């Protein structure tokens, strides 16, 4: 049955690509797949060129917001790339959506998939990975229904948000400065242009809101990172014997190259300390290395509780990982940068320059701390009051304020 579903999905993808982009594009994609098998660098473009071409930023439509009913309930359209289990960005988005739904608001999810899959192909995965979401799942290319608010959630989704004629004030959930994901060039320019579309930003942390206001003139509010302390928490009595690193080649902003070199230097100084890595399988780093690969959040909490320190590098906006480590009593070692200090703002985070030796020294400082049990309890307590409900409350306040003006 699963094979049949996959074949049907591929058939729908090919049909859609032919309908929208012509037979030539199907041939180009086939050539691209063949090139990748031989190691060539060929990928599907992350945004539909038709959407970029249609977006004239010099021409703005009047903002039309339907009247809010007497019950005060809002309807919000969210445009997203296909969500995947374990994606931090999608998880945060759904936390905000589910908070709005808990207050009686209606949220619709519109998927933007440049690979040609239908929303129906993705819906079973979404329902399984994010079971709290109650709204419909639709395809943004089929057009959006009118709403009070329309959210872009990644740079490529800002283009259909800008182009679609549906009613609704435009907002932008910004969780990272996405032009930094690319070398300076066409893609970085296309990503940066979305911050000049006239949307109202709602950013993960104060750093992004300030950067967008100062550099692009974008109106923006921010929310503080929460922490899922039901899932990430201190387990008393669990012996610690290691350090941990999130290693993922597909996320260059997490600086896997620097992190692995730092672990090599650290291991030479502390051959008795276990080195844990997770995110993807990376191969052996020595006899005291445990390569966990992709793990569930519950399994991740177990790993954090076995470690003194966690190496978590963020060359762009900080990730969810440092707060989750802190909740488990594992001290984050983070590359020293303004975007990390502003967002984390926690005395238990250890900062070091992004060099292998400096990061290795910071790890050494943590694993040699006396009375680490007390340190772990203090670190865990420092995030005990961080709830994602606060971010949801902030979002509703922003929506109420902006939709009333």
For 12-81, the DSSP string reads: HHHHHHHHHH-HHHHHHHHHHHHHHHTT------SS-HHHHHH--TT--PPP--PPPPTT---EEEEEES
Kindly report the pTM of this predicted structure.
Answer: 0.88
Find the length of the chain: 405
Percent of the chain with pLDDT over 70: 89
Q: pLDDT (tens digit, 9 = 90+) per residue, 370-400?
A: 999 999 999 999 999 899 999 999 999 999 9
Helix intervals (H) in 165-225:
186-193, 206-216
Is residue 245 within 8 A of residue 311, CB to CB? The reply is yes
> Which helix (H) or strand (E) is 290 found in, with range?
strand 289-291
Query: In a 3-state reduction of DSSP, which class is residue 172?
Result: strand
Query: Which pLDDT band holds residue 28 (cuts at 50, 70, 90)?
Result: very low
Question: What is the tens place of the pLDDT at every residue in 226-244?
Answer: 999 999 999 999 999 999 9
- Closest of 277, 223, 274, 228 to residue 249, by C-alpha: 277
Q: What is the structure's pLDDT at 397? A: 98
- Asked whether 107 and 100 are in contact (CB, 8 A), the reply is yes
Strands 274-279 and 242-247: parallel
Closest CA to 387 of 251, 223, 253: 223
What confidence score (pLDDT) does residue 249 get?
86
**Region 221-225: what's the mean pLDDT?**
96
Is the pLDDT reported for residue 3 higher than 60?
A: no
CB neighbour class for 221 (10 Å; exposed up to 12, middle 13-18, buried from 19): middle
Q: Read off the pLDDT band of 176 (50, 70, 90).
A: very high
**DSSP per residue, 114-162:** TT---HHHHHHHHHHH-TT--S-EEEGGG-----SEEEE-SHHHHHHHH
pLDDT band for position 30 (cuts 50, 70, 90): very low
Cβ–Cβ under 8 Å, residues 74 and 149: yes
Residue 5 has pLDDT above 70, yes or no: no
Question: What are the tens digits of pLDDT across the range 339-363?
Answer: 999 999 999 999 999 999 999 999 9
- In terms of average pLDDT, the best of 80-94, 137-151, 276-290 is 137-151
> Which alpha helices (DSSP H) does 232-296 contain, by range?
256-269
User: What is the chain's alpha carbon radius of gyration, rounded to the nearest angstrom?
Assistant: 22
- pLDDT tens digits for 242-278? 999 999 888 899 999 999 999 999 999 999 999 999 9
Q: Within a 13 Å sphere around the CA of 69, how many CA atoms are in the beta-carbon half?
A: 8
Give the confidence band of 4 by pLDDT, cuts at 50, 70, 90. Answer: very low
Name beta bridge partners: 276.
244, 290
Q: Which two tokens stand for residue 179?
A: 């032009």
């Amino acid at each position: 049955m699963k094979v049949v579903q996959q074949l049907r999905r591929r058939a729908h993808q090919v049909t859609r690509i032919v309908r929208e982009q012509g037979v030539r594009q199907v041939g180009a994609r086939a050539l691209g797949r063949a090139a990748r098998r031989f190691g060539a660098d060929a990928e599907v473009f992350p945004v539909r060129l038709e959407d970029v071409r249609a977006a004239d930023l010099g021409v703005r439509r009047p903002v039309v917001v339907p009247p809010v009913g007497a019950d005060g309930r809002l309807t919000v359209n969210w445009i997203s790339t296909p969500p995947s289990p374990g994606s931090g960005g999608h998880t945060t988005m759904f936390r905000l959506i589910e908070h709005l739904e808990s207050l009686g608001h209606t949220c619709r999810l519109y998927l933007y998939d440049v690979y040609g899959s239908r929303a129906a192909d993705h819906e079973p995965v979404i329902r399984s990975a994010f079971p709290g979401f109650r709204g419909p799942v639709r395809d943004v290319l089929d057009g959006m229904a009118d709403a009070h608010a329309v959210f872009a959630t990644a740079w490529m989704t800002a283009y259909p948000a800008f182009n679609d004629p549906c009613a609704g004030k435009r907002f932008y959930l910004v969780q990272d400065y996405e032009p930094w994901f690319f070398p300076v060039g066409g893609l970085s320019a296309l990503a940066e242009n979305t911050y000049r579309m006239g949307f109202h930003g709602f950013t993960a942390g104060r750093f992004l809101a300030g950067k967008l206001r100062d550099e692009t003139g974008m109106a923006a509010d921010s929310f503080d990172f929460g922490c899922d302390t039901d899932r990430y928490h201190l387990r008393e009595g669990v012996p610690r014997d290691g350090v941990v690193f999130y290693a993922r080649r597909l996320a260059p902003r997490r600086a896997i190259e620097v992190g692995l070199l730092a672990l090599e230097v650290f291991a030479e100084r502390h051959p008795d300390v276990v080195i844990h890595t997770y995110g993807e399988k990376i191969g052996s780093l020595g006899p005291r290395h445990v390569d966990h690969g992709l793990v569930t959040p519950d399994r991740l909490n177990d790993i954090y509780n076995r470690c003194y320190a966690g190496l978590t590098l963020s060359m762009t906006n900080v990730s969810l990982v440092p707060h989750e480590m802190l909740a488990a009593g594992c001290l984050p070692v983070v590359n020293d940068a303004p975007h990390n200090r502003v967002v984390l703002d926690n005395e238990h985070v250890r900062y070091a320059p992004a060099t292998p030796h400096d990061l290795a020294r910071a790890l050494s400082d943590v694993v040699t701390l006396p009375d680490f049990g007390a340190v772990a309890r203090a670190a865990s307590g420092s995030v005990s009051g961080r709830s994602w409900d606060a971010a949801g409350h902030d979002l509703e306040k922003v929506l109420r304020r902006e939709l009333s003006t």
